[in-house]
Amino acid sequence: MANIKDLSEKIPERLGPGHRLCAGCGASIAVRQVLMGTEDPVVAVSATGCLEVATTIFPFTAWKIPFMHNAFENSASTISGIETAYRALKKQGKIKKEIKFIAFGGDGGTYDIGLQALSGALERGHNFVYCCYDNEAYMNTSIQRSSATPFGAATTTSPAGKVAAGKVQFRKDLTAIVAAHKIPYVAQGTISHWNDLVTKSQKAFAAQGPAFLNVLSMCHRGWRYPQENTVEIAKLAVETGFWPLIEVENGTWRFTHKPKERKPIEEFLKPQGRFAHLFKEENKHLIAEIQKEIDNNWTRLEHFCEASCKIT
C-alpha cells in the first residue's frame, strides 16, 4: 500500500501547476497520482486531447519530465519507439540508468482511434505503462460520444430528445480487451481511491512488459455537475459498482476494493446533468436497464476472479 507522506517526500511533482485544465478536472489528478508510482526517471507521451492541449500551450509546458506530444491515434506506437531506442542505447552502454516509460491517452484516443496501435504495442511486449484517463467522451472537441460513453448519457452526438434518450449502446469493456492480450498487469482505478490507484501504478511500473491502467477521470463540463464535486462523483462510481476497482496480475483477476453494500445506480446518475433526462417518467425504465447491466457485469467479474484463482 502507498504512503502519501513518504511519496510526497521521495517523488518530485512531475506535472506542475499552471496548466490550463479545468478546475475540478479528474484527468490532472489522475496523472499526478499515476506518476507517483515510480521513483525512477520517467519519459511520458500523450495523445492529442484535453491533457496534451492544456499542458503544452506553446511556448509553455506543465511537464517537469521529458514529454512528447503525438497524434491522436498513436500514443502507444510513439512510446514503443522511444522504449525501443532506449533498450538499444542501453545495450550499447550509452545509457546506464533505469528509465520508465508511460503513454497517456483519453478514451477517444484509447478505446477508439488508438486501439489498433495499443493492441500492437501490447502484443509486441514493449516495457511501458499505458494510462487511459477515461472521461467517457471526446471532451476536448465538444463532448462527442465515444465507445466509453455510458448507455443513456447525453452528448453532442448522442443527444437526449424525441428520437433517443441519449446513447443507445452500452460502453465497451476495454479493460477486459486489454487483459485478453495476456500482459503482466492490467487495472482499473479512479482518483477518489488514491491509495488503490497509486499502488496499482507502482505495480504497473514494476511490471516486466506492458502494463495498462484504466482510470475513470471525471469531466464536470461533459458530465455536468459542480466542479467541486469531482472526488465525490468518483466515489459514487465505485460505491454503485459503475466502476469496479479490479486488477489482473499475471492472469489472476481480483477486486482491490468491494463496497460493503453497493448503492443503487441512481445515486451516481442523479448528480450529473448528462443523465437528467433519464429521470423523466417516460425514461425511468432505462435506469433499470443500466442497473441490470451493472449487476450482470459485477457477477461476471466475480466469476473471472473466482475462476482465475482456481486456475492459479
pLDDT in tens, 207-251: 999 999 999 999 999 999 999 999 999 999 999 999 999 999 999
% of the chain exceeding 70 in pLDDT: 98
Check residue 64 and give its pLDDT.
96
Please say whether the dihedral angle defined by the alpha carbons of residues 246, 251, 252 and 253, taken in this order, is positive or negative: positive
CATH of the domain at 20: 3.40.50.970
pTM: 0.96
258's grid cell: 468491494
Tens of pLDDT, residue by residue over 127-149, are 999 999 999 999 999 999 999 99
225's grid cell: 455537475
What does the mean pLDDT of the chain come to? 95
CB 203 within 8 A of CB 247: yes
Residues of the chain with pLDDT under 70: 1-2, 309-312
Parent domain of 203: 4-311
> Side chain identity at 129, as an amino acid letter?
V
Check residue 94 and give its pLDDT.
97
If one counts the domains in the chain, the total is 1
Q: What is the CA radius of gyration of the chain?
A: 19
